[in-house]
Amino acid sequence: MQLTTIPFQLRFRKPFVLASGTRTHTSVVYIKAIQNEITGWGEAAMPPYVKETQESVIHFVQQLHIPIINTLDDLNLFFEKLYQTSGNYFAKAAINGAMLDWWTRKNSLSLSEYFGIDKNLSTPDCCYTITNGDDIKHSIKQAVDFKLLKIKAGFDGDVEFIKEIAAISEKQICIDANQGWVNVNVALQKTAQLKNLNIAFIEQPLPVDDWQGMQKLKQHTTFNFIADESFQTIGDLKKIMDCFHGVNIKLMKCGGVSNAFEIAKSARQLNAKLLLGCMSESSCGIATAGAIQQLFDWVDLDGPLLISNNPFTGVRYQEGKIFIENNVGTGALSVESTLQAL
């Protein structure tokens, strides 16, 4: 098995505004797994606020000993060794995705079939993202097929921004504060102003380590609170559930779709609400995540809609839901001319 790394810059169609700042692109590394003339693809997408970089991902891959994979036991043994140490979660997510894409293509399976996902389970609704500075009427028009509007909050005037959207659209609102409500008193004031709106959930309102504030916020309001930055691995689940109603599981944060699948199963046993999120990924990473989407209450996987130079195809948005167009591997297909034009 050979793993090749391809650094790339995903460009946004318009500046992406978060509580932490504004950016125009995301750095990614694509990993290409090749054996017996079969190719699998994985993606590591690193926003600027995380520790991992293109250089660290490439270095991590170069240090690995990649065996020949002949059986499922070979694959599982490799993954077991890959996850023996902590850290490098973005790199591991890309490796996990690439090798599973390769394995399922080799065996003419979809990734959903590999995980044993029941085909009769309903497909959850996907969010359509609106950020500060967007033309609200235009964005709502673009989101006509979507049932969920994901609004990036955590800035001065965010409540008024949310109310302006709610006044135009009757769609259900998902709020992502990105830790921008700086303390519990601020969060209580904002939630009081939002209490009559049709809100599905509020994601990460407070800073990651404000556990006491989150407990108070959960006790004194009726909204569903979803942990994002406060949550990373399966070991965080029990602590999280004292302060939140559920978790946002992102392949990049937890080390890949295999880990995300296990976390989702464990979280369900705790009656947690589940959001499947992403890191401004192309159709490569989104197709990988989409394989397990039926296990979730909501999905926030609109990354391909936000970028202008998507080097993969295979993901389709219809009636506010995500569909994978190919039923072998993850379903993502590379546009080789785009990847080669670096």
Inter-residue contact 209 to 235 (CB < 8 Å)? no
Residues 125 and 341: their CA atoms lie apart, in Å, by 35
Can you give the residue ranges of every domain in the chain?
A: 2-110, 114-335
Residues 278 and 257: their CA atoms lie apart, in Å, by 11
Q: Quick check: 143 pLDDT over 50?
A: yes
Digit-coded pLDDT (tens) for 166-194? 999 999 999 999 999 999 999 999 999 99
Spell out the residues 6+ positions from residue 156 whose beta carbon is closer than 8 angstroms to its own.
Answer: none
Digit-coded pLDDT (tens) for 15-30? 766 655 677 899 999 9
Joined tokens for residue 296: 């979730």
How are beta strands 21-35 and 38-46 bridged, if at all?
antiparallel
Q: Which fold has domain 114-335?
A: TIM Barrel (3.20.20)
Q: Quick check: 108 pLDDT over 80?
A: yes
2-110 and 114-335 in the same fold: no
Q: What letter does residue 51 receive in the DSSP assignment?
A: S
Q: What does the mean pLDDT of the chain come to?
A: 93
Spell out the residues 6+ positions from residue 168 whose beta carbon is closer than 8 angstroms to its own.
Answer: 136, 137, 140
Digit-coded pLDDT (tens) for 231-246? 988 888 888 999 999 9
Residue 341: predicted pLDDT:
52
Q: CATH for 2-110, among 3.10.20.30, 3.40.470.10, 3.30.390.10, 3.40.50.1970?
A: 3.30.390.10
Mean pLDDT calculated for residue range 271-297: 96
Helical H segments across the chain, by residue range: 54-62, 72-82, 89-106, 111-114, 136-142, 158-168, 184-194, 211-220, 237-240, 251-254, 257-269, 283-290, 303-306, 336-340
pTM: 0.93
